[in-house]
Amino acid sequence: LFASISNAWLSGQWDIHQMSHPLPTTLITLALALKVGLAPLHTWMPEVLQGLDLTTGLILSTWQKLAPFCLLLQVQPTNATVLLVLGITSTLVGGWGGLNQTQLRKILAYSSIAHLGWMILVLQFSPSLTFLTLLVYFIMTFSLFISFKISNATNINTLATSWAKAPALTSIIPLILLSLGGLPPLTGFLPKWLILQELTKQGLALLATVAALSALL
């Protein structure tokens, strides 16, 4: 709200496509980053997701990302560095944050932060690629949340004992998790591969390397 008002004040325009002044564009980018939960504005996300039940958590992880992303796609930032910094910080924080967690919802929150980082990195170079990554992320997250809901699992220990109740489902869950981690033969690797390719084309090889290394975590 503050960004749009300051934009109207500085440029006399209320239209999102007319945002040319660096202050309101940076402000609105940061505001939307806070809304989707990009690092370093991510601190609310793991705690909130941990406190929600799985269905609401699923809505927060998927549906809630659509509106801010539509706005981010329309705002053409004057300062490209802001998005790149947000993106690379998110991939690193998402990778590190999920390391010593036993709560599944917190792991999923950090996974969400890392995936959003990948999307933001490539947003200004190839919006269609961002959309593809978002779609693949939605499918994987949806199937994972539904699997957890069926097996009634909220932490790793519950997941370990669910083998007796639903063997078929328990054997699918690791595959979805590996796909979410971006392992080559699985779907989750496809957008990451394309993003790395796009980043190297844009001459950001170092950034691509850091992003790829953070995905290993």
Which DSSP string do the residues of the chain spell out, in sequence order?
Answer: -HHHHHHHHHHS---GGG--SHHHHHHHHHHHHHHHT-TTS-THHHHHHHHS-HHHHHHHHTHHHHHHHHHHHH---S-HHHHHHHHHHHHHHHHHHTTT--BHHHHHHHHHHHHHHHHHHHHTT-HHHHHHHHHHHHHHHHHHHHHHHHHT-SBHHHHHHTTTT-HHHHHHHHHHHHHHHT-TTSTTHHHHHHHHHHHHHTT-HHHHHHHHHHHH-
**Number of neighbours of residue 57 by Cβ within 10 angstroms:** 24
How many degrees, rounded to 5, is the angle at CA 28 between CA 214 and CA 116? 25
What are the φ and ψ backbone dihedral angles of 155, each rounded to 5 degrees?
Answer: -140, 170
Which regions in the chain score pLDDT beneath 70?
A: 78
Determine the pLDDT at residue 184.
87
**Number of neighbours of residue 152 by Cβ within 10 angstroms:** 11
The 10s digit of each residue's pLDDT in 103-146 is 999 999 999 999 999 999 999 999 999 999 999 999 999 999 99
What are the φ and ψ backbone dihedral angles of 103, each rounded to 5 degrees?
Answer: -85, 125
**Contacts for 56-60: CB closer than 8 Å, 24+ residues apart:** 57/105, 57/108, 57/145, 58/141, 58/142, 58/145, 58/146, 58/149
Are 36 and 65 a contacting pair, CB within 8 Å?
Answer: yes
Determine the pLDDT at residue 75.
87
Residue 180 CA to residue 5 CA, distance in Å, equals 39
Determine the pLDDT at residue 28.
92
pTM of the shown model = 0.92
Determine the pLDDT at residue 78.
67
- Name 103's bridge partners: 155
150 token code pair: 């069926």
